Structure 1
Amino acid sequence: MGVLPINLRNQVGSAAEYVAISPEKISKTPIKIDLIQAAALPGVGATAIIALKYKANLRKGEKLLVRGASGGVGSIAIQIGKMLGAHVTALANEKHLTFLQELGADEVFDYKETSPTDLKKFDVVMDTVGTDLKHYRRLLAKNGRLVTIGFPSFSSFIYILTSTIFGSRRVRTFSANPKNEILKELASYVDSNKVRPVVDSIYRLSDVAKAHHSLETGGGRGKRIINLLDKK
């Protein structure tokens, strides 16, 4: 399993039967799951590990908020957060809240009914949405860290940039481009039953447009998968 690096045109990923990739960008899949489940892991799993363990330095006993918790990254971030010993609060669509509790979330809230002012302070906020960052930054305790994997507007980028210079509550962003050390670490978490992949739906390669439409529509749970083995 692996993640294709972003190319010079800022494009990432593929939908193909074969790709050429550097050996340092791949690793063996976990032993305890099949290839379909493994396909749901590398991008989102590596992102969650890098964000929480290496960027935010999440520690045991700290309070973590995962925003967009039902998506691919969010569903893994909940599990990584619990593995690291944090108290995890999940913010997502109401229809996914019970499932997020099953993943290990200590508290769950419907994002449509819950504004930032309704929430308490957190040591770390893991944001997968990229909007209203200043409102969620205000939820950070002293020396808190907000890690976001998306900033859809130029103003969001400027806000992130200035927050790294001023104040004790920092906003951090990054683009996960993991090498095999992170992928091996992720595989070990799966094989030790600390993390499990979350698959929303599975499509054939001929239905790739439907998969993209589903992704753009939003509201899913985990990852959409293209099954190259199903050629019916």
Structure 2
Amino acid sequence: MEVKEQLKLKELLFIMKQMPKTIKLIFTLERSLFLKLILFSIITGILPIVSLYISQELINSLVTIRKDVSVVISIFLTYLGVSFCSELISQVSEYYNGKFQLNIGYKLNYKVMKKSSNLALKDFENPEIYDKTKEISYKPYQIIQAIITMTTSFVTLLSSIAFLMSWNPKVSLLFLVIPVISLFYFLKIGQQEFFIHWKRAGQERKSWYISYILTHDFSFN
């Protein structure tokens, strides 16, 4: 199947329109885990700025003579506590993320199997139907992962701007300009990476199919 080398605005809007449907589907299948991942992504986005603020206070307490040792120790212990919480949340989030991926993959594959029972044998030889059945098992998870990553980045960006505005409002404006400029470059790189994998998909599938036939004596066509 031929794919266009440029992603137009109309196609991008179509992808954005599919996101609410995907979120609705995920809510139907795994609402609890999805909300936990969103909560962890928000906390993960805030913790770096909290850690930065505490480390700043720790350095200031070491430099100035006015604060006694007990204050320095309390700030240091707070910094260790935040670092420990950050690592703990990262591990718990990774666990729930793996569980979420397995549950979503299983439930989506189950839905595909139920729908596939209504298809004729000739439909399974159709490349478009074959590709769609394969995409269903991982595309929603990829979209959700993108949403979670964007949520973490957005929270980190907002907290960074708020932190810098208390120090220098002009510098904080750079955090609004730089991400917008870099966004276009990341989209371009991601688009080119997608097209490279897309063009290799046919050869990779053919290689896998030949390897499968050669290594499984019960498979034939």
TM-score (norm 1): 0.24
Structure 1 or 2: more helix by fraction: 2
When Rg is computed on C-alpha atoms for both structures, the one with the higher figure is 2
Q: Relative contact order (C-alpha < 8 Å, sep 6+): which is higher?
A: 2
TM-score (norm 2): 0.25
Structure 1 or 2: more strand by fraction: 1
